[in-house]
Amino acid sequence: MSAKKTDEIAVDTEQLIKDTAKHIFFGEGRFNATTQEIADAAGVNRTLINYYFRSRDNLFQTVFEDAHTKEIERTEMIVFGNLPFREKIDRYLDIFFEQSKEYPYLEIYMVTQMNQGCVYKDPETMNRMLDKFYLEIAIEMDRGNIQKMRPEQFLLNFISLTTFPVSMRPLLQESMGFSDNSYERLLEERKEIIMNMLFREDYQL
């Protein structure tokens, strides 16, 4: 077998382990899953997890950082894109709720990590995104498309309406008496509700 082919197999195996771990951690909410359980689900030998990642905790951290980085990249793409502001919000909601359906426990873990001091590692880019976002919010308010308030308040409303039902899902679903399927249907209704709450009916470009 050529060295190139061996490298390709190694990359595929490493990615398989990461994809499997991501599904177990953030798709099923099994944050305490063992390396053996991950290996069994991936169909690989447990020693390969130790070979590529050294420990379960390192694998967990790698998977989390990959997911967090991809989320930031998607947000940057939308914020700095050329779409009208309302379409940016619409697009972000599509991506967010699509991800929450595939990985319902990812947002929960991210909130936990933030509470433990794991914050965004590139404050300069984050500040540029916020400046751009706040400017567009202010413009929409001047046009009468959004109720006037501090741009920070609009952002808080947007985040709260979007993430709270996902990050608090276990508590809300149980206390409100929803099954998995019925709560999923509830989340599917969120996008239209959020858009109607954030923007005036007579929105104008």
Q: Are 177 and 125 in contact (CB under 8 A)?
A: no
Cα 179 to its chain centre, rounded Å, is 22
Domain, as residue range, for 26: 1-54
Per-residue pLDDT at 68: 83
Say whether both 177 and 109 belong to one domain: yes
CA gap 99, 190 in Å, rounded: 14
In which residue ranges of the chain is pLDDT below 50? 2-8
Provide the CATH number for the domain around residue 20: 1.10.10.60
Kindly report the pTM of this predicted structure.
0.85
Say whether both 38 and 80 belong to one domain: no
Per-residue pLDDT at 3: 42
Per-residue pLDDT at 4: 43
Tens digits of residue pLDDT in 118-157: 656 667 888 999 999 999 999 999 999 999 999 999 999 9
Per-residue pLDDT at 17: 96
- 203 domain-assigned: no
Which residue from 176, 63, 174 is spatially nearest to 109, judged by alpha carbons? 63
Say whether both 47 and 101 belong to one domain: no
- 204 domain-assigned: no
